[in-house]
Structure formats: structure tokens, C-alpha cells
Amino acid sequence: MAIFKGAGVAIVTPMYDNGEVNYDKLGELLEEQIAGGTDAIIICGTTGESSTLTHEEHLDVIRYAIDRVAKRIPVIAGTGSNCTQTAIYLSQEAEKAGADALLLVTPYYNKATQKGLKLHYTRIAQAVSLPIILYNVPSRTGCNLLPETIADLVTDVENIVGVKEATGNISQVAKLMSLVGDKVELYSGNDDQIVPIMSLGGCGVISVLSNVAPRQTHDIVAAYLAGDVEKSCRLQLQAIDLIGALFCEVNPIPVKTALNLMGKGAGPLRGPLCEMEEANAERLKKAMKAYGIL
């Protein structure tokens, strides 16, 4: 059984103006996501600015989300690192806190070989009992987890069960599913490719768009799962301009800006991320208005 089917939100980490984590706002956002039909919470991923959280903050945010969600929907903790031992530590602590699953990004900067990636993920998986979703986003990490490597991992390691696929390369996704489609839970990591990836056997999306449009993102996946591909495609295409605006600068700059425009109080970004360029912010506002969320 899949960890979840549907739209999981890669949720932001709200901040106060002084840069500290705003747990009150995080609680509000979590409640709004659940009320909006979101199928899972992915906490401390890229969108949650995990790379600029201290280890203590990282784990505190995970623990807070788990406690606040209280098993109403799955909470998947982002515990990846470019250090295998650090990823093991974060993963073990998330398991102790009650996470339902782990999301493990490929090691960034190190540029590990495929052999090294297998060893990295196997060692983490052996240190915990939770199901694991691999996260492949080479545009950010400089490291591509190849289909053959994923196939070996999901075949050989019992609790490696899924992949968040954000290469943008549909041919690579098709290759993966041809190798091991019956053994892997496939999630789109790109909001503009939900329908294409589901057509190859995907079971949902881990979404940035869900931060600002939880019900609409849920409905894209729900329609597809219900067999209404035409509706799913229509909803996907209606969101394309907004999705483009949400990625016109590096994530999570635009989505935090969007939440602030909506009065959600997501707060500032941590350096080295900075506020949006004025022209891009205007593009985002226009797209949000056209989509009916501003």
C-alpha cells in the first residue's frame, strides 16, 4: 500500500521577521492544508528551507508537525543530507518522533557515483524501519539517481518504496517504470508534470502548488485516480501559468511570496535566498489573480 495517494504538500517553514521559526503560523498552515484536502504533509523539504535550518530546528519543526497533524494524514519528514551519518541521525530522530515516512534527497555537492548512492541509501534504510521515498532533483543537487539505481534499491532494500521524481525528464521516468513499475511508488516532484507522470503509473504529487491551492492540487490527482483523465488534464492546464510563476525564481522564494500576498504570514526567507525581483513578483500577482487565489 502506498504511503499516500494524492497530493502531498511540500510545506513552507514560516519565519518571524527576525528569522526564527514561526510555529504558530506553521500550525495554521498545517490546519489549512488538512481542511483543504491535502493528502500528506512533507515537512522540512526543499520548500521548507531545510538547508538553512540547524539540526535542532530541523528536528523541532518535524516534531511540531507530527504532533499538530496527530495522524490525521501522513507526515513525511525530509531527512536527507549530503553526509550519510547526518541523514541517519535525522532519520532516526524523525522515526522516534512518530513520522510516517522519510523523504531523502540525493546527496548534494559531493557528486556521488551510482555505487555511492546505493551505499548511502542502503545504510540509511538499514538504520530505520520507516518507509523511504527517494528524492531525485539533479537541477538542485548536481546528482542524478539513474533508473537502474532506483530499480536496484527498491528491489534490494525492503523499506525503500518510492521516488519523488523531479528530473523533468519524462523519458527517464518511463525507463524507471519499465524496469520496476510494480515495485515503486512514483510521485511527481514537478507541479507541471502531475498528469504526465501519473500516466506512467504515478500515485500522486509532492507539491509546491499545494501551498497556495491545496484543494485544486488535490483535485488534479483525485480526478485522475477516479478515471476522469480529461478533467485532471483540464485542471492541470488551468494551473500552468501559476505553476510557471511559482518557479520563475528558485523555490521557495515565489511560494513564500505568494503566501504573504494571500495574508498567510509565511514571513521572510533565510539567506542566501532573498526577496523576489519586482518584475517577477508582478508576474506572480497576475498569475494568482488569474487563477482566482488573490
Residues 6 or more apart in contact with residue 165 via CB below 8 angstroms: 136, 172, 173, 176, 186, 187, 188, 189, 197, 202
Taking Cα atoms as reference points, which of 126, 121, 171, 117 lies closest to residue 144? Answer: 117
Q: Contact 240/226 with Cβ under 8 angstroms?
A: no
Could you tell me if residue 44 is inside a domain? yes
Read off the CATH number of the domain in which 91 is found. 3.20.20.70
Q: Contact 215/206 with Cβ under 8 angstroms?
A: no
pTM more than 0.75: yes
Could you tell me if residue 260 is inside a domain? no
Q: Contact 165/187 with Cβ under 8 angstroms?
A: yes
Integer Cα distance of 39 and 216 in angstroms: 12
Could you tell me if residue 93 is inside a domain? yes
H-run or E-run covering 58: helix 55-69
Taking Cα atoms as reference points, which of 111, 153, 110, 114 lies closest to residue 132? Answer: 153
Domain count within the chain: 1
Phi first, then psi: what are they for 21, rounded to 5°? -65, 130
Domain interval for residue 22: 6-231
Integer Cα distance of 66 and 100 in angstroms: 9
Could you tell me if residue 197 is inside a domain? yes
Specify whether 96 is catalytic: no
Crossing angle for the helix pair 278-291 and 253-261, to the nearest 10 degrees: 60
Could you tell me if residue 290 is inside a domain? no
Specify whether 121 is catalytic: no
Q: Per the residue annotation, which of 25, 164, 256, 264 is the catalytic one?
A: 164
Taking Cα atoms as reference points, which of 5, 9, 25, 4 lies closest to residue 268? Answer: 25
DSSP 199: H
Could you tell me if residue 263 is inside a domain? no
* Nearest-5° Cα angle at 169, 133 to 145: 45
For residue 21, the cross-strand partners are 15
Integer Cα distance of 93 and 79 in angstroms: 9
With b meaning 16 or more CB within 10 Å and e meaning fewer, what string describes 232-243?
Answer: bbebbeebeebb
Per-residue pLDDT of the chain (294 residues; tens, 9 = 90+): 689 999 999 999 999 999 999 999 999 999 999 999 999 999 999 999 999 999 999 999 999 999 999 999 999 999 999 999 999 999 999 999 999 999 999 999 999 999 999 999 999 999 999 999 999 999 999 999 999 999 999 999 999 999 999 999 999 999 999 999 899 999 999 999 999 999 999 999 999 999 999 999 999 999 999 999 999 999 999 999 999 999 999 999 999 999 999 999 999 999 999 999 999 999 999 999 999 999
For the chain, strand residue ranges (E) read 6-10, 40-43, 75-78, 101-105, 132-136, 160-165, 185-188, 204-207
Could you tell me if residue 141 is inside a domain? yes
Residue 79: strand, helix, or coil: coil
Dihedral sign of CA atoms 181, 133, 115, 196 in order: positive
pLDDT of res. 213: 98
Alpha carbons within 13 angstroms on the beta-carbon side of residue 248 total: 23
pLDDT of res. 1: 64
Q: Per the residue annotation, which of 135, 187, 224, 291 is the catalytic one?
A: 135
Could you tell me if residue 220 is inside a domain? yes
